Amino acid sequence: MSQMKDRLTFTLFTPHRTFEPVECDSVRLPVSDSVGGKFSGSYGIRKGHAKAVFALAEGKVLVHYNGKEIFSAECEGGFATVENDDIRVIVDGLKEKSE
C-alpha cells in the first residue's frame, strides 16, 4: 500500500549531474509533438496526477512551491515520468537560470 504525500517530489537528471529531489506543488514541462519531436506546448503536473511518460522538447522546466518559482531551466529535450506524485525528469542537457 503506497503512502500518500502532501507534495510532489521532483528529481532532475542530466548526463553529468543528479539534482537533489525537491518537494513542490507543481511542475511545468515543455512537451514535444508526437511526430517531429518539436515543442508543442507546456504541460502542468500537480499532486494526484495519473501515471504518465512524456517526451520533452527544448524549452523551459518550471518548478513551483507555495506559489513561488523555486527552479527554472532551459532543457535540451529528454523525457519525464510521473508516478505516485514523484516526477523524474531526464534531460540531454540544460542551462540553469541565473539569479
Contact 28, 61 (CB under 8 A): yes
Write out pLDDT tens, residues 14-50: 999 999 999 999 999 999 876 666 767 899 999 999 9
| Predicted confidence (pLDDT) per residue in 72-91, tens digit | 999 988 999 999 999 999 99
Extract long-range pairs of 14-17: CB within 8 Å, 24+ residues apart. Answer: 14/90, 14/91, 14/92, 14/93, 14/94, 15/92, 15/93
CATH no., domain 8-96: 2.60.15.10
Q: Where are the domains of the chain?
A: 8-96
